[in-house]
Amino acid sequence: MFPRTLLPVLKRQLARFPIVALTGPRQAGKTTLARHAAGDRPYVSLEDPDSREYALEDARGFLAQFPDGAVLDEAQRCPPLFSYLQGIVDTDRRPGRFILTGSQQFGMMEAITQSLAGRIALLQLWPFSLAELQAVDAAPPDVDTLLFKGLFPRLYDQDIAPADWFSSYVATYLERDVRQLLNVQNLSLFQRFVGLCAGRVGQLLNIDTLAADTGISRQTANGWLAVLEASHVIFLVRPWFANIGKRLVKTPKLYFCDTGLAVWLLGAKTLEYAASLPQRGALFENWVMTELRKAQTNVGLRPELFFLRDQSGHEVDAFMQTAPNTFAAVEVKAGETVASDFFKGLDYWRKHLPGQTIHSWLVYGGNQPQSRERGTVLPWNGLSPLLNALSAA
């Protein structure tokens, strides 16, 4: 097993709570991590039809098999279990009895809120961070390979071509799981919708245009986006608001959980094709945003990730609070050479957020860190100073 940053956090929460829930994208490594942390606790996959049928028909009897707890994989497939788990842990509050995993938040989070509030710790596991791969000398050698291959664990522990793996991933999980949740009748429309989302990474999300380009209603587009977000296929980054007398945009920006998935959906099946995509800069920004998010979730923090943009177009790609009235502002540029105008947005917002301390960071596609008066410059393969600041917040 590749070492995961979240493991110590998971073990710490198992020592405190009777139940820990581990959510995140399909194939992010949740099962492997849960089983490793669980030691000799039994493991049951509720994807298995026999186990799922037993749990649905006789939840009490099913759980009685595990007096000392178990790992229940894809627990959202059996909502009745959550009420019975409540009774079990209220009777016996021993910590660390059950680990629940889930790749779809709709049913799972509703059940947790209704039945297990105060009894459960919630953690998120995403695909590898670059730092996790760097720690075992398995990191991609350059930016284009990173964006093309993505960071799903299976692509690093098995010799699989990214195009082949993502083809199977989309057919098996995205089209099967998400289609079932949405009851999509027209697969081609849904495929077109997801592909159009991939073409909009890093952009302000215009629901009306997205719906029109797909050929569906705005209501349908909103529903499909909500399920893609709940299934950890995409995530939305929302603008930061403050009473600063500015006309700030209120529209979120759209990103994918993994750049390899977005690249495949854009039709790039080779590294050379991926490197030539017009969305390369947006994909690089997408990857940095996932790293910022992982820096928070991998230490058990709730992700708090925003951006800044006003109606005049003054923008900072990422904006995160690190202390009271103190923020990290991050600009992302895929270019390998640092240009002076890369700092424009950072300079603007540092002057126009009175009463706030702003630490400016520039992440770029080159290889050399730089310390400048206008901000700290970090190469794509050296983000640890920024990520450490976020994880300590």
Question: All domains of the chain, ordered by start, with CATH?
Answer: 7-124 (3.40.50.300), 130-236+259-274 (no CATH)
pLDDT of residue 106: 63
When pLDDT is averaged across residues 361-383 and rounded to a whole number, the result is: 96
* Mean pLDDT on 351-359: 91
Average pLDDT over residues 105-133: 83
Report yes or no: 3 and 132 within 8 Å, Cβ to Cβ: yes
pLDDT at 208: 97
Q: Where are the alpha helices (DSSP H) in the chain?
A: 7-14, 30-38, 49-57, 59-64, 80-91, 105-111, 130-134, 143-149, 154-157, 162-169, 179-182, 187-198, 207-214, 218-230, 259-265, 271-275, 280-297, 344-351, 384-391
Q: Average model confidence (pLDDT) for the chain?
A: 92
More confident residue, 66 or 184: 66
Give per-residue pLDDT as tens, 222-253: 999 998 998 899 999 999 976 555 667 789 99
Question: Mean pLDDT throughout 112-116?
Answer: 71
Q: Sort strands 315-323 and 306-309 into parallel, antiparallel or unpaired.
A: antiparallel
* Span 55-87, pLDDT tens digits: 999 999 999 999 999 999 999 888 889 889 989
Distance CA 232, CA 76 (A): 14
Instruction: For residues 85-110, give the mean pLDDT.
Output: 85
pLDDT value of residue 278: 97
The pLDDT assigned to 188 comes to: 85
177 has a pLDDT exceeding 80:
no
374, burial (CB in 10 Å: exposed 0-12, middle 13-18, buried 19+) = middle
Confidence bin at 298 (pLDDT 50/70/90): very high
